[in-house]
């Protein structure tokens, strides 16, 4: 699959994830919920840093997101897009493939 298609896949996955949630507005109750929330927050920050041109800051936040939850698909897709932006297609492909693997498992 060409990198452009991976980028489209990443955008679609992020759009779908943005619609998810329990809608309660309550604080997470379990350690897994806390990890997921940490990954979500750092992924969103990383995406905003990227939009503002702070690619180093974006990378730090996205790596932190993956430390919180290595199975968080949006973090893999956003960091893959970042790797594309810094002209590192090999790492971009690794993270796109990981995102697809996690979705399909």
pLDDT exceeds cutoff 50 at 1:
no
**Taking the model in full, what pTM does it have?**
0.74
Banded pLDDT at 7 (limits 50, 70, 90): low
Do 14 and 65 form a contact (C-beta atoms < 8 A)?
no
Do 9 and 2 form a contact (C-beta atoms < 8 A)?
no
Tally of CA atoms within 13 A in the half-sphere of 90 that contains its CB: 0
CA separation (Å) from 23 to 18, 29, 53, 70? 12, 14, 32, 24
Please tell me the predicted confidence (pLDDT) of residue 55: 97
Which tokens hold the place of 6? 């991976």
Do 69 and 102 form a contact (C-beta atoms < 8 A)?
no
pLDDT (mean) for 39-62? 97
Please tell me the predicted confidence (pLDDT) of residue 105: 86
pLDDT exceeds cutoff 90 at 64:
yes
pLDDT exceeds cutoff 70 at 56:
yes
User: All domains of the chain, ordered by start, with CATH?
Assistant: 3-15+31-104 (1.25.40.10)
Assign 3-class secondary structure to 68-84: HCCCCHHHHHHHHHHHH
């Amino acid at each position: 699959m060409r990198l452009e298609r991976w980028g489209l896949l990443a955008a679609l996955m992020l759009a779908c994830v943005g619609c998810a949630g329990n809608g309660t507005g309550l604080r997470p109750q379990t350690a897994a919920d806390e990890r997921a929330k940490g990954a979500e927050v750092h992924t969103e920050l990383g995406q905003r840093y990227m939009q503002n041109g702070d690619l180093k800051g974006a990378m730090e936040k996205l790596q932190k997101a993956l430390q919180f939850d290595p199975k968080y698909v949006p973090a893999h897709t956003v960091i893959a897009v970042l790797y594309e932006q810094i002209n590192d297609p090999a790492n971009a492909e690794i993270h796109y493939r990981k995102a697809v693997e996690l979705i399909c498992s």
